[in-house]
Structure 1
Amino acid sequence: MTKVTLYIAASLDGYIARSDGGIDWLSLLDTEDEDYGYTDFYESIDAIVLGSKTYEVGLSFDEWPYPGKKSFVFTQRHLQCDREDVVFVSDPVKQALADIEAQGLENIWLVGGGELINSFLQHSLIDEYIISTIPMILGGGISLFPPPSPEEELELITSKQYPTGLLQTHYRRKEKI
């Protein structure tokens, strides 16, 4: 059974990027001795799903940020890539997720961005949420949960406060009765 986890950082006021897509502010809490559980999480996943704008941000890094994992990029644009581990997907999210699951990929990281997160939310496809809240108010930008978002009841699994001020919360979607 596939499990989709939204693992993402957001500002205190709920933004995942600046209006121009900039994520430079995320590095404010970078330290050599703390990865906020990222390595363990990354090792636990089988594949990555992300939107095309988030994919393009990844391309701007010195190295591809998702090595050794198959990345499914949701887009309606005609994008090309010479990486064998990047697949472009134009199917609706439910169909695409079924296709990913059919490949034996079970633990899926939903990276972002806002539009793709909303598509997964609309179909109740996010099983767990690991949200790292950065102690910063951006005042605007790309919303973590852009409206209109459906109502979703969650239960807290864990929360952890770091000395840098980052607060990481881990929730599970409550099953509807």
Structure 2
Amino acid sequence: MRNVILNMSVSLDGYMEALDGDISWHLVDEEVHRQVNGFLAPAGAFLCGRRNYVMMDGFWPTADQDPDSPEPMREFAAIWRDTPKVVYSRTLDRVGRNATLVRDVVPEEVRALKERPGGPLFVGGASLAASFLRHGLIDEFHLYVHPVILGRGHRLFPELEARTDLTLADTRVFSNGVVLLHHRRA
């Protein structure tokens, strides 16, 4: 069975973006980007919320066409373009190449997707991650904690009715101060 993995960047105080949507504080240097690429390359699909999909698909499909793009960016452009996407949105009318539009998170449908052969399923976007978390659908948490305190913004995790116990699977400290925390559901 495939795992559903939340793969996100977060500030030390738990925000995934500033109030205005700013993510310029993400310290994704070559070392971090190569690790991310290696981790995401075997993905079976990217499961995206609307905002996450629109942001990602607005840049990555052609990022490798810029001759000034560093190699890790060109590599990720191919990963993004070639990996199937499931886009959860009630407002989009259509999605691009290699993407499927789904209106709601239906736990049974996600579990059926996990049963199919292929690589892991990566969840992106705070609202979608919150929905998956409420339904108990996230198996692993792969969080890049950036050395910044935003003070306010859009929190990665919502308030929940019950706690979720986790087991630490791995850590990695990058030279730029980013710390990767990899947890699995207990």
Q: TM-score, normalised by structure 2?
A: 0.82
Which residue of the partner structure matches residue 101 of structure 2? 88
Cα distance in 2 for partners of 1:73, 1:166 equals 28
The yes-or-no answer on 1:68 pairing with 2:66 is no
Contact 1:10 1:16 in 2 (8 A): yes
Closer, same or farther in 2 for the Cα pair 1:15/1:46, shift >3 Å? same
Closer, same or farther in 2 for the Cα pair 1:78/1:57, shift >3 Å? closer
Contact 1:118 1:149 in 2 (8 A): no
99, 108, 111: which one aligns with 2:124: 111
Which residue of the partner structure matches residue 7 of structure 2? 7
Contact 1:130 1:169 in 2 (8 A): yes
Closer, same or farther in 2 for the Cα pair 1:17/1:3, shift >3 Å? same
Closer, same or farther in 2 for the Cα pair 1:150/1:50, shift >3 Å? farther
Structure 2 gap ranges (5+) = 63-76
The yes-or-no answer on 1:44 pairing with 2:42 is yes
Cα distance in 1 for partners of 2:182, 2:144 equals 9
Which residue of the partner structure matches residue 17 of structure 2? 17
Secondary structure in 2 matching 1:24: coil
What CA RMSD, in Å, does the superposition of the two structures yield over aligned residues?
A: 2.0
Closer, same or farther in 2 for the Cα pair 1:150/1:115, shift >3 Å? farther
Moved over 3 A (4+): 62-65, 101-106
> What percentage of residue pairs aligned between the two structures are identical?
28
The yes-or-no answer on 1:158 pairing with 2:170 is yes
Secondary structure in 1 matching 2:82: coil
1:50 Cα deviation after fit: 1.1
Closer, same or farther in 2 for the Cα pair 1:153/1:80, shift >3 Å? same
1:23 Cα deviation after fit: 1.8
Q: TM-score, normalised by structure 1?
A: 0.86
Q: How many residues are aligned here?
A: 170
Which residue of the partner structure matches residue 131 of structure 1? 143
Structure 1 gap ranges (5+) = none
